[in-house]
Structure 1
């Protein structure tokens, strides 16, 4: 059984539109999950990176 949208001559089945929207949200969610895994932004890691950059600047005599 296929439900057709009758507004404006749209011939894409309503169910297909819903499935496509769901696939897009799943794809977006998976991409965001991968990026969070690939580029972690933990506060302790960021603090360590800032400390290391400050130490290097101190060794070079750069003040900021």
Structure 2
């Protein structure tokens, strides 16, 4: 039976380490960014995924995802990426229907 290697963040540069320390010491700004910085710092310090999950009260799978992201995209991974979902494309027939409906709508009562 093979045992998977423990999930750990890659070796951080001195600059990255300083940035993480600043974020966690200040404790201001986005709470998501703060929490992710704590996770990355804890991983860099040699803590295991289960220990980090207990520290920040999160699911172990979430911790693994947070640890993998800086390995792939650097410190930009700390910032939340809000997405409103996939934009819906409308056909020309649907567009025409919307325009006609809006044009025929009763004017607002004042």
With normalisation by structure 1, the TM-score equals 0.35
Which of 1 and 2 has higher RCO (CA within 8 Å, sep 6+)? 2
Q: Which has the larger radius of gyration?
A: 1
From the two aligned structures, give the one with the greater helix fraction: 1
TM-score, normalised relative to structure 2: 0.26
